[in-house]
Amino acid sequence: MYKQYLTHLNQDKIQKSDVATVSCGRNPRMTMLPGLFLLVCLSMCVGCQSIKERFDTVRPNNPVVGPAPPRISLEQTSADTLGYASISKDAKVASGVLTVSHDDNGKLATISDSQIVAMVNGNPILAGDIFVPYSKQFVVMRQQLTEEQFTQAQRELLKRDLPDSIERKLLAHALKTTLKQEQVDQLDTILDAAFKEHVSSLLIKTKTASARELELKLQADGTSLEDIRKTFGEQQLAMQYLSTKSEVFVQTGRVDLLNYYQENIDKFSHPAQVKWEEIRISFSPEDGRPAAIKKLQQVMHELEQGLSFDEVAKRYSDGATASNGGEWDWTRKGSLADKNTEQQLFSMKTNEISGVLESPNAFQILKVVHRKDARVTPFEDVQQGIKGIIVQQKRKEKTALVIENLKASADIETIFDNDPEIKALMRDFGKFNR
């Protein structure tokens, strides 16, 4: 049963990634967050360009790249000592990354919000960092699932969302290692100021009187301004690092653009299309054909008398679009499963009505309403777009290389490290489009 809830959360995964990246040039792998939470995060992203401009003022001309962080033993690590214990004032943060565990009865042990589920170069990721957006769904799941089902759902959610969190943490840490401490402090101040501006704007958009009232609304959705500020700041650091390291300077001449155009001509080709209408009279092979022929004769008579095709379709057709006069929208050549119908449509002229087509279970009459011939967009119309595509491809390649280099030297531990297959999956980030 827990898989049904994960499917629902999967469908909702359009918003979580997108929330953090909508204005930063990434193509999202998206989750569902409560409506207000989504609005808050989308609002926050309005000022990304402004944040970048302010960030440029603290970007060092000579970056200070420190040594790789020392490996912190699992026994010595705690979120409190690292300044990340923000899930609850009363919560005790588990020490170190505990691999998937079972209770005395052999059942999976439930994961608490304060449990460290990953360490990235000595920086912890708490389960609550992953679970907060799903707080309301978790309440329902706890009521309707067994404890073991709920725990399994937690782990499936972590398996899905944790790699993205690891990537953000890795990139944010990489940026901070290029800055002096005073620059880090200055950047935090900039992010705080930008976040306050967005909250002020959001108060107007949501018709909320005060930040306190907004906080109460967010808490009702299972999150808070503090949670959003943390995600916002980390995401901005990650994106600023990538934007700095993934800058490319590509010289593209006409020959390069033309070669791309010719090698990818299918992308600029548009097959023929028709908009058409259909009268369909279905019958069963056993005993329905005579009655269908009688109805077909009436159809042919009314069409010969000059009645409009769509009116006759509404009266006699039993096709999928009969109530709409048998009308089908633009149909591309090669897209119809019924090749006999397709061949007929693309051999007809505009406003031409076909003869009767017969299949094993239906009679069919077609009319082409509009048509567009096959064409290829001229090179001159797309050459600027091609230049942008080439630059974007180079940027994606460089971004992937940046992330791969960071992963190669990163010290990453996760809750799943006792399972080799899942352990590899937790490090399989950075492959989606940006």
Summarised one tens digit per residue, pLDDT across range 225-284 is 888 888 888 888 888 888 888 887 888 899 999 999 999 999 999 999 999 999 999 998
Sign for the CA dihedral angle at 131, 135, 137, 140 comes to positive
Sign for the CA dihedral angle at 111, 113, 118, 124 comes to negative
CATH code of the domain made up of 272-373: 3.10.50.40
Give the bridge partners for 120, in sequence order: 123, 412
Q: Which range (76-80, 114-118, 393-397) has the least confidence?
A: 76-80
Q: Of all residues in the chain, what percent carry a pLDDT higher than 90?
A: 33
Give the pLDDT of residue 238: 85
CB half-sphere exposure, 156, CA atoms < 13 A: 16
Which pLDDT tens digit goes with each residue over 97-126? 555 555 555 567 788 888 999 999 998 999
Which pLDDT tens digit goes with each residue over 10-32? 544 434 333 333 333 333 333 33
Query: Helix 181-205 and helix 35-44: axis angle, to 10°?
Result: 130
pTM for this entry: 0.58
Task: State how far the Cα of 372 lies from the Cα of 241, in Å rounded to an integer.
Answer: 47
The closest of 348, 376, 202 to 277, measured between CA atoms, is: 348
Which pLDDT tens digit goes with each residue over 404-429? 888 888 999 998 888 888 888 888 87
Give the pLDDT of residue 61: 45
Task: State how far the Cα of 165 lies from the Cα of 343, in Å rounded to an integer.
Answer: 51
List, in order, residues 6 or more apart from 361 with CB less than 8 Å away: 282, 283, 284, 285
The domain limits of the chain are 2-249+391-426, 272-373
Mean predicted confidence (pLDDT) in 397-403: 88
Which pLDDT tens digit goes with each residue over 287-329? 788 999 999 999 999 999 999 999 999 999 999 999 999 999 9
Q: Which range (37-41, 72-76, 304-308, 379-383) has the least confidence?
A: 72-76
CB–CB of 164/29 below 8 Å?
A: yes
Task: State how far the Cα of 334 lies from the Cα of 271, in Å rounded to an integer.
Answer: 8
